[in-house]
Amino acid sequence: MTSDFQALHDRLAIEDLMSRYSLAIDTGRHDDLDDVFTSDAHIDYTEMGGPAGTYPEIKQWLASTLPMFTALLHINANPLVSVTGDTATARTICFTPMQFDSPDQKSRVLFCGLWYHDEFARTDRGWRITRRREEKCVDATVAVT
């Protein structure tokens, strides 16, 4: 492949990887995350109120926590991807409305805006995330009428 074609291919593969993360989270298909992260990836959700830990720990936390939401929608935009050989970094904004039923039985939506700071590695199975950190931009909860 020419270097221009390879650079485009790598960028699209990384953007697709980030979309597959969002789809796995939004559909509750947490095993699909095995094809998104390396087995030793470090994930830090602390700035948005979640934990930090290894991929297996975070996968378990996601599977036990996310079912409280009746609807999830991750919307990624403005990825800034930089590829250097077999490693890459990206900064991508994510807007995530998350619907849940509150104790007063009213449906509410938590609107989260954040930046993903990711590091990637090219593996024999394609690009995978090796590190993910969330940076909080905004969050607000509103009642749905």
Instruction: Encode the chain (145 residues) as per-residue pLDDT tens digits.
Output: 568 899 999 999 999 999 999 999 999 999 999 999 999 999 999 999 999 999 999 999 999 999 999 999 999 999 999 999 999 999 999 999 999 988 887 889 999 999 999 999 999 999 999 999 999 998 787 776 5
Task: Give the number of domains in the chain.
Answer: 1
* 8-state DSSP, 73: -
> Contact, 94 vs 76, CB < 8 A?
yes
Q: Which domain holds residue 99?
A: 3-143
> Contact, 136 vs 47, CB < 8 A?
yes
> Contact, 74 vs 26, CB < 8 A?
yes
Buried b (16+ CB within 10 A) or exposed e, 10-37: bbebbbebbeebbebbbeeebeebeebb
Give me the CATH number covering residue 91: 3.10.450.50
Give 3-state DSSP helix, strand, coil % of the chain, rounded to 5: 35, 50, 15
pLDDT of residue 3: 85
